[in-house]
Amino acid sequence: MSAGEPIGGLAGNSSPWAGRTLANLLAAHGLSESPEREFPNDGWSGATLTALDGPDGRFVLKRTSWAADWVARSTRDHALREAVLAADPVPLPMPLSSAHLGAAADGTAAAILMPDLSAWLIPWDRGEGMAAIISGETLDRVLEAAATIHAMPWAQLRNHDAGDPGRPTWPWCPIRERILWVGERFLSGWDQFDRRASPAAVALIAAMAADPAPLIDALAVLPATGLHGDLKLANVALLPAGRAACIDWQMTTFAPIALEMGWFLVSNVAQLDLAPDRVLDRYRAALERAGGGAFVGDWDAQRDLAIVVGLVLRGWRKGLDADAGVTLPTGATAAAALAWWCDEAVEAAARRL
């Protein structure tokens, strides 16, 4: 499919948002006469966001398309999976709230309507580009939200067609594309990684980039569930009354929790003052409380593969931080953290791949 080709269907049928008009979606929320205004954001996928004020508050309209959104193209997102999720929602248990109000077609783009959650999103910057270190209470609320997502019965809700268990009916992000997700902006970081990482870690990452099949096969042995896919603190809104909502479901996937937690550990390193294993232990406790114990499987394997996934996905950032001489919230230097991740990933790969 080329960059300008029309959007494909979902399991051979039209995506659920494709037959709905934007005018009708806006009218349903009293926004027919509301002008769209610029909505400042730090997104860089190519999707565009605008703000609308209505009788029930402020809303955000996100437009995404295969032609405009490089994340869609790099993850084979023909159906525009976040729009599918918004148009065909799943029931969310406490403490989760939906970040979507609906989706509709706007030309060849999907338009996703959301409440404006800006006031409740976890702050990313603390001035001068420094990330704000989160409290233990905030971390536990985020892990509770993640565990609740993972404990949901996704296999019954959205994974397979009831008449044909082998046929997916939900546009999950392919695991291979999620693992190899990369963009040009990361390349300088990988150069620094190659210069500063151990030879064994450099060889491991090169092998995974050339053929991730051993990692995918190792993940396939573990129980799978629905994952947010881009679980980072900046994508979590902590709402009143103990509720939480997650935004940016563009890479939602069906895979073992190791994939989600590997990304969580490395994408939030500037805001976590706990070592990776302590974060994982708190997450495991949250998952057990949420009733998701069936998705733990071999916890040691989950932990090992989370470390490998983390280095594969974000070794580039660790290379940049080490080059810049950053000191992390744990008190460790980025160079020391890079060495830890390299050693742990190489040892984990030797055990699991």
- Mean pLDDT of successive 10-residue segments in the chain (353 residues)? 38 72 96 94 85 94 93 91 92 96 95 97 63 90 98 81 54 93 71 96 95 97 96 96 96 96 95 96 98 96 98 94 94 97 98 98
pTM for the complete prediction?
0.92
The pairing of strands 109-115 and 57-64 is: antiparallel
Return the axis-axis angle of helices 334-352 and 187-196, rounded to nearest 10°: 80
Residue 187 is predicted with a pLDDT of: 76
Domain boundaries, the chain: 22-116, 136-352
Residue 10 is predicted with a pLDDT of: 42
- For residues 251 and 176, the answer to whether their CB atoms sit within 8 Å is no
Q: Which structure tokens are listed for 139?
A: 């971390």
DSSP 172: P
- Give bridge partners of residue 104 from the DSSP assignment: 111
Residue 153 is predicted with a pLDDT of: 92
- For residues 25 and 103, the answer to whether their CB atoms sit within 8 Å is yes
For 303-317, the pLDDT digits (tens) are 999 999 999 999 999
DSSP 135: P
**Cα angle for residues 329, 198, 211 (degrees, 5° grid):** 105
Residue 148 is predicted with a pLDDT of: 98
Q: 236 — phi, psi (to 5°)?
A: -115, 130
> Is residue 167 exposed (0-12), middle (13-18) or buried (19+ Cβ within 10 Å)?
exposed
22-116 CATH fold: Phosphorylase Kinase; domain 1 (3.30.200)
Q: Name the class of domain 136-352.
A: alpha beta
**Cα angle for residues 46, 51, 56 (degrees, 5° grid):** 140
Same fold, 22-116 and 136-352: no
